[in-house]
Structure 1
Amino acid sequence: MGVAIGSLVYSAIFVASWVNQVLIAQWMPYALYILLLAIILITAAFTYVFIRQGRATETPSVPESRILPITIIIPALNEESTLEQCVESLIGSRYPQDLLEVIIAHEVAPRCRDSTPAIAKRLAEKYCNVKAVPNDGEHSGSKAGSINNCIEMASGEIIGIYDADHVVEKDALIRACAHFVSSPELACIGGKVMVRNMDYNFFTTLVGNEYTVINNFSRFLSELITGTHLIYGSNVFIRKGALVRIGGFDESSLTEDCDLGMKLIYGNYPMKIDYSIRSYEQSAINFRDWWHQRVRWTRGSMGVLKKYMRIYSADTRMSRKSIETILLYSLGTGGLLFSVILIGFMGFMMYMNVITPLILFICCAPLAVLFASESMNEYKEGRGSILDTILSILVRPWVIYAYSLVGVYAVVLDILSSDHVWHENRRI
């Protein structure tokens, strides 16, 4: 569909006049090569930063008297197979236990259909700094609501958010704390999220680190161009004061993390990324879960974009914030804008015999570098494999074209005003 749309648009331009024919035949290839060169340079810069921060082995030193109290909130719905491992990894982290509070914000029946509440209660009885808080009041029914329900009772100066399928590296919390201590103005910092079930089945092996690379690269690119970045809803830390001032999470949003990021941007709150703050999550284990998750992310980002464009344009002027918002979310929702246009453009150029199919491989080359660098990093740390590196070079870069289909499908659903249906991912 992306090819069809692009072909229609560019065909209209082509037949308009002889000038357009000259433009497309003689100048478009040069413009395309310049664009590819820019992509390669940005990719190289990101790869350097990515690897340098990812290899940070020395844990920052924070004087004991300056370590900040921190509260970790774990929203949990039907997470009986993952919740305990997540909590145990937090309790086992290198952080003073008297300054660490863990709140399990779990849903209740009938929405919760497994033993998550019982596990949460047992963990709260086992550890004095763990609380189980049922989300059965006005905030019930959403991840954002379960977090909002716990903000007021949180004792920490810093609030961290982790999904229940995460396993946290031992120094993740102290690394985050070090940033807040050294930068009193800092409001939010996000870390690197990695996949821990790549070898579960054929699909997870094939997709591998796709999510890790694209998530981290989109945030890097957003920060490079706009000075701000997207927020991922797990392995993220926010000052409680800032979270209260912006009103917490939007419980009506499909992507509450994106909306929170826009609230912080709108309020001019400083944010950072540190790829050495690492946690490991379960990725989608089949194509159905993968597809529905990314469609939800895309539609959620579209909703956030429309919401904040209305806010920014209320004064009838196109402000700098409006332009930054467009840039930020067109970058963050790559499947929606960039890849659809790219595929349509490439298809039309090949149709006009201006470029060869080789260009499709050239466009994938920067992604191959990103995927391969992540795989090699993991291999050096004892978690990757030669097969994983080969797949990163030869298979995973083509995911950009799959993302284009996600973008088209999400746009169609939005045009038709289809209901927002939450598809729950299977856990292992």
Structure 2
Amino acid sequence: MSILDYFLFLAVLSIWGILVVNVVLTIAGYVNYLQKVRRPEPQLPVKVPFVSIMVPAHNEGIVIVKTLQSLLNFDYPKDRYEIIINDNSDDNSAELLGEVQSLYPHRNLKVINTDKTNGGKGKSNALNIGLKQARGSLISIYDADNTPQRTALRYLVAELMSDQRLAAVIGKFRTRNKNASILTRFINIETLSFQWMAQAGREKLFKLCTIPGTNYVIRRDILEKIGGWDVKALAEDTEISFRVYRMGYRIRFQPLAVTWEQEPQTLDVWFHQRTRWVKGNIYVILKNARLLFTKTGRPIRFDLLYFLSIYFLLMTSLILSDSMFVLSVAGIAHSDLVGFSNILWLMAIITFVISTFVTITTEKGEMTIANLMIIVFMYLVYSQMWLAVAAHGMVGYVREQVFHQQAKWYKTKRYQ
């Protein structure tokens, strides 16, 4: 075997290792799903806690009214929650919010109009500002493009109050504009697969869940104990999840709590948003990497290894595998393992398609032939798009560190 054969073998071994882990997570997630659908709905305690819902909003005039109407329509007791909008906008957001306030004068609706000195510095900063004015013992977060179902907040709070060991409870998010483009069809399947594979599977096997950026509740006293959100973190949700686990608390996934969110409809918007995610997760990985084999880091060890594998090992292996395939077809390089590699590649596609399709069978209306074809296309195209994003995000992160540049928060474009 040549040196290229050894590298290709290691690359294929790495890809299949991570694929097998994901298959195991999918099976565990599906078992978790079957168990959760049989459980009775969680019930609110007699003394209903007061909740502060925070919506970090910057130039969200296109979507903010619809979001606010959904939040005001919760079936949670109306006098037991308030809504706080963090606003540092130069569009018509402030005017629209003022109109909604006038329509609901007796509701607990606040708008924090920050300026350039203290606002416009990313989601974490906005949430910290809102926390200072929040009155609730529980804090709930929703993104400005969300339309949660009426029952979402009630389910989240009821689940959280059922167990004092829980620091937070996260819900499920669905794609409300899934039919807008082929890209949103990809994202729709990606989010469903992520929740039942990465969330429910990790919860079942390792009692681990990662807080998403929206549709969750968290105890205020724990938030204050850990010092709020890290303003340097672009992936503030993953970062705060790790700190919660290191404190000895748990996070639970409650799929009955559903929100519908708007996803990027164009490649440019998707690329910038996902690049921000990659940079944010690399920051979290490197911030916690020293804890990998310490007693303090034990609660987050699987996630650290998983993220390290996805962002470093898998990316390197895919680049090497793809490069060898192209060079072999072009006749520039030859490897005795290319044929063997291609067979494993075909088997990987089949495994990916089956495991992903299993995850979407949990959702009504998603188990279709069209989605099956989309999943096949996802492996061939969408996975390669993610590879480009991961490489771009990693290079961008390194450049920012070398030149001591502050990471900028990319504002995701909204649609009507």
From 126, 146, 152, the equivalent of 1:166 is 146
Which secondary structure state, in structure 2, belongs to the residue aligned with residue 228 of structure 1? coil
Deviation (angstroms), 1:116? 0.9
From 344, 347, 357, the equivalent of 1:372 is 357
Partner of residue 132, structure 1: 111
Deviation (angstroms), 1:156? 1.7
Paired residues of 1:285 and 1:426 also in contact (CA < 8 A): no
The CA RMSD over aligned residues, in Å, is 3.4
Partner of residue 315, structure 2: 340
What amino acid is aligned across from residue 96 of structure 1 in structure 2?
Answer: P
Change (3 A) 1:387 1:84: farther
Give distance in 2, aligned partners of 1:424 and 1:264: 27
Tell whether 2:274 aligns with 1:290. Answer: no
Partner of residue 306, structure 2: 331
What amino acid is aligned across from residue 115 of structure 1 in structure 2?
Answer: N
Deviation (angstroms), 1:377? 4.0
Change (3 A) 1:379 1:270: closer
Instruction: Give per-residue Cα distances to partners, 1:275-310, cap 9 Å, x unaligned.
Output: 222111111111111111111111111112222335
What amino acid is aligned across from residue 95 of structure 1 in structure 2?
Answer: Y
Paired residues of 2:273 and 2:410 also in contact (CA < 8 A): yes
Tell whether 2:31 aligns with 1:14. Answer: no
Change (3 A) 1:158 1:387: same
Segment of structure 1 superposing worse, 409-418 or 219-228: 219-228
Segment of structure 1 superposing worse, 205-214 or 150-159: 205-214
Give distance in 1, aligned partners of 2:298 and 2:319: 24
Deviation (angstroms), 1:132? 1.3
From 171, 176, 181, the equivalent of 1:191 is 171
Change (3 A) 1:374 1:219: closer
Deviation (angstroms), 1:66? 2.8
User: What are the equivalent positions in structure 2 for 1:203-242 lying under 5 Å apart?
Assistant: 203-214=183-194, 217-223=197-203, 226-242=206-222
Task: Calculate percent identity across the aligned residue pairs.
Answer: 20
Segment of structure 1 superposing worse, 138-147 or 245-254: 138-147
Deviation (angstroms), 1:243? 0.8
Paired residues of 1:364 and 1:397 also in contact (CA < 8 A): yes
Change (3 A) 1:228 1:121: same
From 410, 415, 425, the equivalent of 2:393 is 410
Give the unaligned 5+ runs of structure 2: 329-334
Instruction: Give per-residue Cα distances to partners, 1:2-24, cap 9 Å, x unaligned.
Output: xxxxx9xx937839xxxxx9xx6
Partner of residue 18, structure 1: none
Change (3 A) 1:229 1:378: closer
Deviation (angstroms), 1:346? 4.8
Instruction: Give per-residue Cα distances to partners, 1:61-94, cap 9 Å, x unaligned.
Output: 335x232211110110111111111111122121
Give distance in 1, aligned partners of 2:133 and 2:44: 26
Partner of residue 413, structure 2: 426
Change (3 A) 1:400 1:49: farther
Change (3 A) 1:29 1:126: closer
What amino acid is aligned across from residue 162 of structure 1 in structure 2?
Answer: Y
Partner of residue 46, structure 1: 29
Partner of residue 348, structure 2: 363
What amino acid is aligned across from residue 264 of structure 1 in structure 2?
Answer: V
Which secondary structure state, in structure 2, belongs to the residue aligned with residue 296 of structure 1? helix
Give distance in 1, aligned partners of 2:91 and 2:361: 38
User: What are the equivalent positions in structure 2 for 1:381-420 lying under 5 Å apart?
Assistant: 384=366, 386=368, 388-398=370-380, 399-417=382-400, 419=405, 420=407
Which secondary structure state, in structure 2, belongs to the residue aligned with residue 415 of structure 1? helix
- TM-score by length of structure 1 reads 0.81
Change (3 A) 1:87 1:373: farther
Paired residues of 1:339 and 1:400 also in contact (CA < 8 A): no
Residue-pair matches, total: 397
User: What are the equivalent positions in structure 2 for 1:234-253 lying under 5 Å apart?
Assistant: 234-253=214-233
Partner of residue 146, structure 1: 126
Change (3 A) 1:333 1:82: farther
Change (3 A) 1:427 1:36: closer
Which secondary structure state, in structure 2, belongs to the residue aligned with residue 405 of structure 1? helix
Tell whether 2:50 aligns with 1:69. Answer: yes
Give distance in 2, aligned partners of 1:269 and 1:223: 13
Change (3 A) 1:395 1:61: same
Deviation (angstroms), 1:262? 2.0
What amino acid is aligned across from residue 92 of structure 2 in structure 1?
Answer: S
Paired residues of 2:56 and 2:143 also in contact (CA < 8 A): yes
Give distance in 2, aligned partners of 1:202 and 1:37: 27
Paired residues of 1:187 and 1:239 also in contact (CA < 8 A): yes
Give the unaligned 5+ runs of structure 1: 1-6, 16-20
Segment of structure 1 superposing worse, 192-201 or 254-263: 254-263
- TM-score by length of structure 2 reads 0.83
Partner of residue 336, structure 2: 352
Paired residues of 1:66 and 1:181 also in contact (CA < 8 A): no
Partner of residue 60, structure 1: 42
Segment of structure 1 superposing worse, 164-173 or 145-154: 145-154
